Chains A and B, each alone.
Chain A
Amino acid sequence: MPGFGLTLGYTLAWLSLIVLIPLTGVFVKSSALGWDGLWRVWTDARVLAALKLSFGTALAAGAFNTVFGTLVAWVLVRYRFPGRRLLDGLIDLPFALPTAVAGIALTALYAGNGWVGQWLLPLGIKVAYAPLGIVVALVFVGLPFVVRTVQPVLAEARRDIEEAGATLGATRLQIVHRLMLPALYPAMLTGFTLAFARGVGEYGSVIFIAGNLPRVTEIAPLLIVIKLEEFDYAGATAVAAAMLLLSFALLLAINLLQARLSHRAGGLR
């Protein structure tokens, strides 16, 4: 097949120029700080609080999306009802809607005088300008990842295993719990991982609803922006490096778990 040299050269050159070389800059710049400098940035109370908030809210939103995203995928694949196509198309809205637009819309809804906020605030539930608001924004941006990962797996799941279970006298609950869900776990975990990774780095939809109070509702990406605006390039880079390393470690752990789950689910698919 022709074009190997040309496309290889072009792909590698463009990839290096746009992605690889700029990204290595993060590590070069943060290594210039030395271990002491890095450690000082990482153990700063404000940085720690921001990292904890970003990873905590992303985990919470990812978990919430895993449950409801699987439910939505289940309903879309298994049931027929009017408006199903429309619902299916709407799932991708968070991919298509710019995050800043989602951010101001969610803030308008969940602020104390908003459509939803005015009902929640008297109950003592503060959403906008509180960590809960960040979770709501991350639920919005992360939802399609879980639905779109679980949906194809569920569509291809073998019905005969369910039928065999039913013939052997298992109740519907037992079939779902023992046969079907375990086959879905790897896809659910993948969806969770994608939603989580997106949530950790999310910026546009969060900064409007968060309130951005240092140590309370200030996310790690915002802290990077703040440090950049103060011309503290090294500090900004150190926070970015911490985010990249933490994400990488978590993704590695999830991949190991994934390998075990897929192994167990292998016979059921």
Chain B
Amino acid sequence: MTTNEPRWLRRGLIALALAFIAFFLLLPLVAVFVEALRQGFGAYLRALQEPDAWSALKLSLLVAAIAVPANLVFGIAAAWLIAKHDFRGKALLVTLIDLPFSVSPVVSGLVYVLLFGAQGLFGPWLIEHDVRILFALPGLVLATIFVTFPFVARELIPLMQEQGRDDELAALTLGASGFQTFLRVTLPNIRWGLLYGVLLCNARAMGEFGAVSVVSGHIRGLTNTLPLHVEILYNEYEFVAAFAVATLLALLALVTLALKALLEVRHGDALAARARH
């Protein structure tokens, strides 16, 4: 029966797909490492030992360390609300949670400039009380939380909906408190999905560029995250240094992909069935 393509066509299509991915995805990745090592390994290491690169790395880690847990707590609360309860306006709420994905990163930064900028809504008050949000850590964290807002919730909602409410109801009937039920029953059920969401959230938090660029002010050594530091080096024609710092982010991306693939292979059935990321 002809429910398969002839062998030559099959081979041709596979070759075309492989060539397409190699050219559009793999080649840029390889280019990052080749450009970074263009002047040898010594120059590469020297570029990574720059104090500005170090402070950028530390800032990126700090921002992610605040933004990811914030969205983790939100994601769990939102998923518990949406998956375990029935109420009107649920579909609207889910749409609103997804909203940051359809907003340009630049606009995500812009909204905070409008609130906290010198001409912004709270600008005069902030200046008067000498509180810095824009061009400082709070602004970077806020913009990062905005762009990574849906990641954890989006992973947990379908997963918890799929798992239903029976386990929790049984625990409650047996006398467990609400919090005990969550900790002992729900959390073990969702742990792999949670890890999956956190992984993707963290990758985006560390790598965000547009939103952070708008609120950062690009103060070297102070408000430059790793991606912003890459931009500055690149614009100063420090190509080897720019690509050297970029390899750190590329390695983070590769580790993320590897862990993600591992989770999918090992715990595929404990992740949301229709996970599409």
User: Among residues 252 to 273 in chain B, which have CB atoms less than 8 Å away from a CB atom of chain A?
Assistant: 252-254, 256-258, 260-261
Also in contact, A244 and B231, with CB within 8 A (given A109-B28, A197-B102): no
- Nearest residue (CB) in B for A26 is B111
- Nearest residue (CB) in B for A150 is B276
- Report yes or no: A89 in contact with B13, Cβ–Cβ below 8 A: no
- Nearest residue (CB) in B for A114 is B31
- Report yes or no: A201 in contact with B3, Cβ–Cβ below 8 A: no
Determine how close the nearest CB of chain B comes to the CB of A184; give it in whole angstroms: 15
Also in contact, A225 and B31, with CB within 8 A (given A1-B84, A98-B208): no
- Tell me which residues across on chain B come within 8 A of A68, comparing CB atoms: 17, 20
- Asked if A139 is an interface residue, CB under 8 A from chain B, the answer is yes
Determine how close the nearest CB of chain A comes to the CB of B177; give it in whole angstroms: 8
- Report yes or no: B260 in contact with A92, Cβ–Cβ below 8 A: yes
Q: How large is the interface on B (under 10, 10 to 19, 20 to 34, 35 or more residues)?
A: 35 or more
- Nearest residue (CB) in A for B209 is A204
User: Among residues 214 to 241 in chain A, which have CB atoms less than 8 Å away from a CB atom of chain B?
Assistant: 221-222, 224-225, 228, 231, 233, 236-237, 240
- Tell me which residues across on chain B come within 8 A of A7, comparing CB atoms: 77-78, 80-81, 85
How long is the Cα–Cα vector from A18 to B67 in the complex, in angstroms? 12
How long is the Cα–Cα vector from A151 to B251 in the complex, in angstroms? 27
As a 0/1 sequence over residues 80 to 111 of chain B, the CB contacts with chain A under 8 angstroms (1 = contact) are: 11001101000001001101101111110011
As a 0/1 sequence over residues 228 to 239 of chain B, the CB contacts with chain A under 8 angstroms (1 = contact) are: 101100100001
- Asked if B249 is an interface residue, CB under 8 A from chain A, the answer is yes
- Report yes or no: B113 in contact with A104, Cβ–Cβ below 8 A: no
- Nearest residue (CB) in A for B116 is A22
User: Among residues 85 to 123 in chain A, which have CB atoms less than 8 Å away from a CB atom of chain B?
Assistant: 85, 87-102, 104-106, 108-109, 115-116
How long is the Cα–Cα vector from A90 to B31 in the complex, in angstroms? 16
- Asked if A75 is an interface residue, CB under 8 A from chain B, the answer is yes
How long is the Cα–Cα vector from A205 to B97 in the complex, in angstroms? 25
Q: Which of B2, B29, B200 has the most CB of A within 10 A?
A: B2
- Report yes or no: B32 in contact with A75, Cβ–Cβ below 8 A: no
How long is the Cα–Cα vector from A15 to B20 in the complex, in angstroms? 40
Determine how close the nearest CB of chain A comes to the CB of B10; give it in whole angstroms: 6
- Asked if A35 is an interface residue, CB under 8 A from chain B, the answer is no
- Report yes or no: A10 in contact with B77, Cβ–Cβ below 8 A: yes
- Tell me which residues across on chain B come within 8 A of A102, comparing CB atoms: 28
- Asked if A152 is an interface residue, CB under 8 A from chain B, the answer is yes
- Asked if A247 is an interface residue, CB under 8 A from chain B, the answer is yes
- Asked if A29 is an interface residue, CB under 8 A from chain B, the answer is yes
Q: A94-B25, A96-B257, A203-B210 are in contact. List 19 more A-B contacts (CB 8 A).
A: A1-B168, A2-B181, A14-B74, A71-B17, A89-B261, A91-B25, A97-B29, A100-B230, A101-B32, A105-B246, A108-B35, A109-B27, A166-B1, A175-B2, A175-B3, A221-B104, A221-B105, A233-B120, A243-B104
> Which residues of B are interface residues toward A (Cβ below 8 A)?
1-6, 10, 13-14, 16-18, 20-21, 24-29, 31-32, 35, 74, 77-78, 80-81, 84-85, 87, 93, 96-97, 99-100, 102-107, 110-115, 117-121, 142, 145-146, 149, 165, 168-169, 172, 177-178, 181-182, 200, 203-204, 206-210, 213-214, 226-228, 230-231, 234, 239, 242-243, 246, 249-250, 252-254, 256-258, 260-261, 274, 276-277
Offer 7 A-B interface pairs, CB within 8 angstroms, sorted by A. Answer: A91-B25, A98-B253, A100-B231, A159-B3, A166-B3, A171-B2, A243-B104
